[in-house]
Amino acid sequence: MVRSAVTYLEAHPDHGLALVAVIIAAYYLLNYRPRMVREAERRLAELREERGHLYRGLRPPNGPAPSR
């Protein structure tokens, strides 16, 4: 089976390149994309927290205390 696959890819090298492209795309989608989603969710949570502080009239936790 391996020998017939190698023979096929030797006869059609562009199909081999397409197969490599599919493998790279699958790796990207399975690994890089979830990391991007996690980063975006983390940033969104930070922004929501900052917005909550603004609505309450407070400064962010690392800022100076509000004067009243």
Question: What is the tally of structural domains in the chain?
Answer: 1
21 falls within a domain: yes
60 falls within a domain: no
Query: Which pTM value belongs to this model?
Result: 0.41
42 falls within a domain: yes
For residue 46, the model assigns a pLDDT of 95
Q: How confident is the model at residue 5 (pLDDT cuts 50, 70, 90)?
A: confident
Cα(46)–Cα(44) distance, integer angstroms: 5
68 falls within a domain: no
Provide the domain limits for residue 47: 2-55
Residue 60 clears pLDDT 70, i.e. is over it: no
Task: Tell me the CA distances in angstroms from 23 to 1, 10, 19, 27, 31, one per residue in order.
Answer: 20, 18, 6, 6, 12
65 falls within a domain: no
For residue 61, the model assigns a pLDDT of 63
pLDDT digits (tens, 9 = 90+) for 10-47: 898 888 889 999 999 999 888 887 788 889 999 999 99
8 falls within a domain: yes
64 falls within a domain: no
